[in-house]
Amino acid sequence: MAEIRRANVMVCRSTGCEASDAVGVFDAMREEIKRRGLDSEIDVVQTGCRGFCAMGPVMDIYPGGIFYCQVQPADVPEIVEETLIKGRVVERLTYKDTETGEPIPIYEDIPFYNKQVRNVLRFCGKVDPQNIDEYIALGGYSALGHALFGMTPEEIIEEVKASGLRGRGGGGFPTGRKWEATRDAPGDVKYVVANGDEGDPGAFMDRSLMEADPHSILEGMIIGAYAIGAHEGFIYVRDEYPLAVKNLRIAIQQAKDYGLLGENILDSGFDFDVKIVRGAGAFVCGESSALMQSLEGKVGEPRPKHFHATERGLWDRPTCLNNVKSWANIPLIISAGADWFTSMGTEGSKGTNTFCLVGKIQNPGLIEVPMGITLREIIYDIGGGIPDGREFKAVQTGGPSGGCIPSDLLDLQVDFDRLTEAGSMMGSGAMVIMDDRTCMVDVARYFLDFLKEESCGKCTPCREGIKSMLTILNRIAEGHGEMADLDALGALAITVQSGSLCGLGKTAPNPVLSTLRYFRDEYVAHIEDHTCPAGVCKALIEYYIDAELCTGCGLCSRKCPQEAISGEKKEAHTIDLDLCIKCGVCFDVCRFDAVGMR
């Protein structure tokens, strides 16, 4: 019999919080509870990510859901004394409203969570990911029971088709149709594969899900395998995600011990087993055919798609590859039904989706929202807007192959089709928010540089085309660009798009195309006026000190790493441009706005 405690202290131990000493907090909490003789009353539970990563380490205390952020081990005795023994809130550790500064003690009341609909992430932060009993207690594996004993494989596929679920890895292909194609493909041996090879800069939703709720992925895979007729599955995870690998491994072992994986699952006569395969971190291995090559032990390069993976995938057998988030949606759809799922979202994109908010945003973190929410709601209502009173400039969605969306499209509804129309894409769900101090030429350059490194080199248009585009962008950023370069960029983009084999090349020009489409002025300014309006491209800017405003306090000269600033005390200072490396420290530290940039 499970022991019942009067309180649960849920300490986040995901990668984000562990980086800010969640382990220390967890250990200190266990220690303190034991020291006070409360271990028979209070349980300390480790959980996965609940998304509010900027505020880590975080914990919440049930019943009630009191939420503490930026907790350090030294805070633990006070939390035990005040909250766990006396039932009082420790105000200094609560979240404070960004506008009013009012403390918000309860988790659900924080604006960050207000507009979210957490379905796939429902157990993230609510269960111990290393304890299958907790997942089962909260209703886990009941969808599997329903599928195995109450539905035929065809009915399951119909339900998934009716839900309108589209691939959450970003491609957006209807999941049910993929399942059906794999089921209908001839052959006795079929495979299901979960793609956990998340590689976009700023994306961490797959990692968080694998770390925080590995069983929901497993449950989805078992249901899918049963519907498709597969008896073997693989989870492809990148090796840079050690905690995800660890938690998945524990989850698989526990599911095996309970007979939820393996032979004759729950005495249904259905056999299914899952193995973890660790990827070495090549970005291209997130692409389906490259992933399968890598899974087979070959070099991770895409192959021509004369036939679909659903017919000839892994080891030339019919293979159904879905993102881990797609798999995690399945138990929900089977339990609550396609009607429930389609009640959320837009015409072409049903349900919810997870996004990572990163960049110039008040509350970076992991969120889940219904499809069709506007960018404005995501960035301002949930993300808390742009910090330091700066202005919003653009949001980059869909990772390196996505595009930049400008401020006049802030009311765009976020779904697969709208984002594609706007020249970007859903992609993995990373959202990089940029403020007015971000140069769009530099952004395009950054992403192309990433893609140049990650291109596997198999096809020439991708390998050489991206490099050529990057050369042009570098030229523009250094002030040597010509207007004809913009046409050349456009022409190269078309070649790379149409001539590349896989999605990496086909979408690689997106960052350039979307910045050219929405921020052409900025390119022109670099080329014709030799200026960088955002003040980022170093070759095009120089710092100066306004003698009228300078008080001669000497702060900039003390902070300058090059000792390039000189001047007498209380006299105006000057910058030696030969020594200056344009790091911008003087600009940032000056309290009198005397340092300017031109």
| Spatial separation of the C-alpha atoms in residues 64 and 62, rounded to whole Å | 5
Q: Does 269 bind another protein (CB under 8 A)?
A: no
Label each residue of 102-116 as H, E or C.
CEECEHHHCHHHHCC
Q: Pick between residue 123 and residue 236 the one whose CB is nearest to another protein.
A: 123
Bridge pairing between strands 59-62 and 565-566:
unpaired
**333/341 Cα distance (integer angstroms):** 6
Among 80, 260, 434, 472, binds another protein (CB under 8 A): 260
- Cα angle 594, 597, 598 (rounded to 5 degrees) comes to 135
Cα(405)–Cα(396) distance, rounded to whole angstroms? 6
226 contributes a contact to another protein by CB under 8 A: no
Are 13 and 48 in contact by the 8 Å Cβ rule? The answer is yes
| Total of chain residues touching another protein, rule CB under 8 A | 39
CA dihedral for 289, 291, 293, 295, sign (positive or negative): negative
Site string for another protein, 103-132 (x = CB under 8 A): -----------------------xx-----
Residue from 98, 109, 139, 581 in contact with another protein (CB under 8 A): 139
Pick between residue 330 and residue 502 the one whose CB is nearest to another protein.
Answer: 330
Nearer to another protein, 42 or 430 (CB): 42
Task: Note whether 88 binds another protein by CB under 8 A.
Answer: yes
- Provide, rounded to whole angstroms, the least separation between the CB of residue 223 and another protein: 14
Q: Tell whether residue 5 is a contact of another protein (CB under 8 A).
A: yes
- Residue from 84, 212, 366, 414 touching another protein (CB under 8 A): that is 84
| Binding status of residue 578 toward another protein by CB under 8 A | no
DSSP E strand stretches across 438-531: none
- Burial level of 154, CB count in 10 A (0-12/13-18/19+)? exposed
- Dihedral angle at the C-alpha atoms of 363, 19, 283, 277, nearest 10 degrees? -130
Q: Is 1 in the site for another protein (CB under 8 A)?
A: yes
- Report 10-69 residues binding another protein (CB under 8 A): 10, 41, 43, 62-64
CB proximity list for 276: less than 8 A, separation 6 or greater? 234, 235, 237, 245, 248, 249, 252
**CB-nearer residue toward another protein: 270 or 523:** 270
Element (H, E) at 489: helix 483-499
Residue 340 interacting with another protein (CB under 8 A):
no
3 binds another protein (CB under 8 A): yes
CB of 132 to another protein, least distance (A): 9
CA distances (Å), origin 165, targets 325, 326, 328, 350 = 11, 8, 11, 6
Q: Is 133 in the site for another protein (CB under 8 A)?
A: yes
DSSP secondary structure letter of residue 2:
P
Of these, 19, 74, 137, 488, which contacts another protein (CB under 8 A)? Answer: 137
Comparing CB distances to another protein, the nearer of 139 and 596 is: 139
| Contact (CB, 8 A) for 217 and 324 | yes
The answer to whether residue 281 forms part of the interface with another protein (CB under 8 A) is no
When the beta carbons of 248 and 260 are compared against another protein, the nearer one is: 260
Least spacing, CB of residue 521 vs another protein, in Å: 52
Instruction: Select from 24, 145, 348, 479 the one that contacts another protein (CB under 8 A).
Output: 145
Position 158 contacts another protein (CB under 8 A):
no
Residues that bind another protein (CB under 8 A): 1-8, 10, 41, 43, 62-64, 84-88, 126-127, 133-134, 136-139, 141-142, 145, 148-149, 254, 257-260, 266-267
